[in-house]
Amino acid sequence: MDPVTSTPSPAPSPALPPAPSLEVAGLAYAYPDGHQALFGVDLTVGRGERVALLGPNGAGKTTLVLHLNGILTGGVGTVAVAGLPVEKRNLAEIRRRVGIVFQDPDDQLFMPTVREDVAFGPAAAGLRGAELEERVAAALDQVGMAGFADRPPHHLSFGQRRRVAVATVLAMRPEILVLDEPSSNLDPASRRELADILRSLDVTVLMVTHDLPYALELCPRSVILSEGVIAADGRTQELLCDEKLMRAHRLELPFGFDPRSVSVA
C-alpha cells in the first residue's frame, strides 16, 4: 500500500494594514458658476493622526471638507474614508464615519435637552433602548458634560455648547472628527478644556483653523492648502517657523508668538 502523503497547508497571507482614515487623490472641483476651488488635491491621513488644515480665506478648505462626507461630489478625483469610497451608494455609512463639528455650535444643537441632541444621530440610525442610552452617556462623558444631560442647550455657556456639539458627533462613533475653527470665540479656560478633550480622544482629527498656536498645540502635522492645492505638508512647528512659506500663503502668527519657543513632542 502506498504511503499516505499530506499536502502542506499554504502559509497564511500576512494581514494587510488597515486603510488610512482618509485618502484624497487628484481631487479637483469647480462650482456651477465656473469658479475652480480645487486643482488636484492629494492627501492621506493615517488612523489616529491629528492634522491641522491651514490656509488663507478662499484657499479651498471648506470645499475640501465638504467632499469628505459627500455633500459635494461630481468633480475629478477620488475620496475614501477608511477604504470606503465616497460615493452615492455609501453616503449613509460615510456620513457616520465623518463627523463634522461646525464653527457655531448653535448650528448643530436644536433639541430641547442636551441628551436629546446627542441621541438624535444614533436614534436616526436605528439605535434604541439601553444601547442608545449607553451611547449618549459615553459621548457626554468623553467631553465632560455628563452632568448636563437634562439641561437645555441654550442655557449653557458657549464653550459648553461646543463640547456638546462634539458629543453629538462622537455618539456616532466616527472614523474622523472634522473640526471647523474649534477655538473660535472660546475664553482661555474653555480653549484649554477643549484641547484636553481632543487630546484624549481615540479618533482621527482633521482641524480646520486659522488659530496657528492651537494647531501647534494639538496637531503634530499640518497641511497648508493654498489656491486649491496642497502647498506644504509637514510637522506643524517646522511649517510655522518657515517665515518665507508663511508669508507666501498669507498665514500670520499672533504678535509676539514664536513657535520655536514651544516644546512639542
The predicted-structure confidence for 210-233, as pLDDT tens digits, reads as follows 999 999 999 999 999 999 999 999
Q: Is residue 98 part of a domain?
A: yes
Q: Is residue 6 part of a domain?
A: no
How confident is the model over 143-152, as a mean pLDDT? Answer: 96
pLDDT digits (tens, 9 = 90+) for 72-93: 987 899 999 999 999 999 999 9
pLDDT of residue 2: 54
Average pLDDT, the chain: 92
- pLDDT band at residue 262 using 50, 70 and 90 as cut-offs: confident
**Which stretch of 12-16, 34-38, 108-112, 146-150 has the lowest confidence by average pLDDT?**
12-16
Question: Domain of 244: which CATH number?
Answer: 3.40.50.300
Q: Is residue 2 part of a domain?
A: no
Q: Is residue 212 part of a domain?
A: yes
Give the amino acid at 185: N
Is it the case that residue 16 has pLDDT exceeding 70? no
Give the total number of structural domains in the chain: 1
pTM of the model: 0.90
Q: Is residue 14 part of a domain?
A: no
Strand-pair category, 176-180 with 204-208:
parallel
pLDDT of residue 122: 95
pLDDT of residue 22: 97
pLDDT digits (tens, 9 = 90+) for 31-67: 999 999 999 999 999 999 999 999 999 999 999 999 9
Is it the case that residue 3 has pLDDT exceeding 60? no
Q: Is residue 261 part of a domain?
A: no
Q: Is residue 197 part of a domain?
A: yes
pLDDT of residue 221: 98
Structural domain boundaries, residue 211: 22-253
Q: Is residue 190 part of a domain?
A: yes
